[in-house]
Structure 1
């Protein structure tokens, strides 16, 4: 089988059962067991889609469910260990509970981290806009209400007093002269 290039960092050579990791111009070749390679090749063939456990057992262990289930679990563990040990962050083996597995490949882990940062910045920005909007509308609702009245209905013998957010129309004849009130208090 020819070499399968998963991304710019990882290639798989199915004919020699080797993983080829390229990092900063350096090639690291890892030899894997034949069953591990068959599992990887089947996952690659499904191109990121779910590969059911039954498919692995049928294709790799000729339908022998008894030995196939144990071997599959054991080899999936080996693949994850290889990925972790060799710090291959741009390939992940995802478990779909009670169904199977799928291979997730990211071409460039730096770009995936940057897109995560972009999503973070966007989320923070949206939260900021939400908070500012909340305070703007809250402050808007706390503003005093405007009171409208028809000034033509008030005669020349009245004054308008707005105190404690309550509009009062006071007739001139009910007013006490302030200067008299002040004098009477000072005489006491």
Structure 2
């Protein structure tokens, strides 16, 4: 009799199981936008005006603390950010690499392509790929350790991208767990 197969620890085909990374330039727009939607939740009236009360209530009820944060991205050169954005599903994890040692991890609650929502949250329409997020969790982990855990070379994470190698995601998760837990 054959032994039953163990379930895969990581199956990226299942919604809510993917891991995304995003880098950004620390500076003017980036720092100001961190204050508006990562360090502080996006005010409910913005979500309600742009998405409707029913969508807002659904998102709020799915979020553990009832607060919604946000981040976004430009389309990117040749639409490379858009390709990753289209793969995002509620429950997926997003890790923002915000400098040499700071990572912010969170869960995605919803995605919208909306320059109007971007304009209302950040005062600029450029970040039209918008994602609603749970409360962000900061980690102080050297970027080099993250790249090593993922077997990525320096500079290999640019813009918004999905973790490409499923085999390396458990190593990355172990690194996070060792440094303070998962979002």
Q: Structure 1-normalised TM-score?
A: 0.23
- Of the two, which has the highest radius of gyration? 1
